Structure 1
Amino acid sequence: MCVALLTYADLSTRLDISREAARSLARRRGWPRSRSDDGKALVSVDLSELRYTPRPRRRRQAGQVDAPIARIEPVEIDASMAEIEAIKIEAFKAEIARLEAVAAGYRAVFEREHERADRLAAELLQAAAETKAANAWAARLEDEVAALRTGRQAGGSIAGQAAHRLGRLAASIVQADRAASR
């Protein structure tokens, strides 16, 4: 197990990758990092574990906008500039039509998501109202339980008041249960 302290530049030359790729690799693998005296970042790398094969670089492909122009057949040299310009104009018109179709597709997705967001907002408002009503109901039940525990009410015996309160509490619980099951 041979551990070496390498800068990102040293690591990139050893692996034949860019400095940014070396930095990213060090982060992904979780290699310990520190600072040198001159302020450069040092990475502790176990050289026995250092097996890295960089991905092959992708060739830059022609962009989508350039694609119709690339498909134009070669024009004879004696063709006039007007013909060449007409061909380019037709290619641009075709590209504009394609982009308009793509934009229409994105617009349809936008409209669908907008409607979905509106439905979710309405459901959220309904849930908030139901939560508020349930909290009010729970507070009322807590008040009744507290009143039963204290047994203080003007007039009547404490036992009779407790029985009356207990009956009302049971009726409230049944009513809340029925409302919740709907």
Structure 2
Amino acid sequence: MSVELLTYAELGARLNVSREAARSLARRRRLPRSRSDDRKARVGVDFSELRYRPRPRIGRQADPIAASMAKIEAFKSEAFKAEIARLEAKAAGYKADFERERERADRLAVELLQAAAETMAANAWAAQLEDEVADLRTGRRASGSTAGRAALRLGHLAAAIVAADRAAFR
């Protein structure tokens, strides 16, 4: 019947349990406790009277982190690969849509530039025709008779209008 004074850590080491389990055991068994000079709690234990066997750890694993990592790796190898393949296929579809829309935008930009050039040409042609009409109305031709020149200019004007109209419908 020898009583030993041990810290919770030392008691846990002797019983092969954690420090917290040794502290809980000392409380449950109401073992005498005291403080040492180094301010650590010491428990008086008589190992001949103490019949303690730690409960087996049922359902617990030694390293829960390693078990979790193993589960993640197993899951990763199956589900993640399938998910990655699904997302890559979806990304390829989006990339094809993007390329198609980019080509369409390029074609529309070219058509827009052509339409802008045709509009500028039509505006220039309209300005020229307006100048010719103004000249005909005022009769500002220096050479030849005014009536002969006006008829000639009117014919040219009509031909220019018809040519412009045909160019606009192309």
Task: State the 1:97 CA deviation.
Answer: 1.6
Q: Does 1:86 align with 2:70?
A: no
1:25-36 equivalences in 2 (<5 Å): none
User: In structure 2, how many angstroms separate the alpha carbons of the residues matched to 1:136 and 1:151?
Assistant: 22
Is 1:155 the counterpart of 2:146? The answer is no
Q: Say if 1:77 and 1:135 are closer, same or farther in 2 by CA, change over 3 A.
A: farther
* Distance in structure 2 (CA, Å) of the matches to 1:101 and 1:86: 23
Runs of 5+ consecutive residues of structure 1 not aligned to the other structure = 1-75
Letter in 2 for 1:168: H
1:144 lines up with 2:137 in the alignment: no
1:101-152 deviation line (CA, Å, top 9, x unaligned): 1111111111111011001101100110110111011011101000001101
- Deviation of 1:86 after TM superposition, in Å, equals 3.1
Which of 116, 120, 125 is matched with 2:104 structurally? 116
- Quick one: which amino acid aligns to residue 86 of structure 1? E
Q: CA deviation at 1:83?
A: 4.8
Residue in structure 2 matching 1:174, options 132, 142, 162:
162
Partner of 1:106: 94
1:74-118 deviations in whole A, cap 9, x for unaligned? xx998x836523322222222222111111111111111101100
Q: 2: distance between equivalents of 1:127 and 1:142?
A: 22
- Tell me how far apart the structure 2 counterparts of residues 110 and 101 of structure 1 sit (CA, whole Å): 14
RMSD: 2.1
Residue identity opposite 2:82 in structure 1: A
Letter in 2 for 1:111: E
Distance (whole Å) between structure 2 residues aligned to residue 150 and residue 116 of structure 1: 51
Q: Write the letter of the residue equivalent to 2:111.
A: E
TM-score under structure 2 normalisation? 0.57
- CA–CA separation in structure 2 for the residues paired with 1:178 and 1:112: 35
Rg comparison, structure with higher value? 2
- For 1:116 and 1:181, the matched residues in 2 are separated by 24
Paired with 2:132 and 2:167, the residues of 1 have a C-alpha distance of 19
Alignment match, 1:132: 120
Report how many aligned residue pairs link the two structures.
Answer: 106
Q: State the partner residue of 1:97.
A: 85
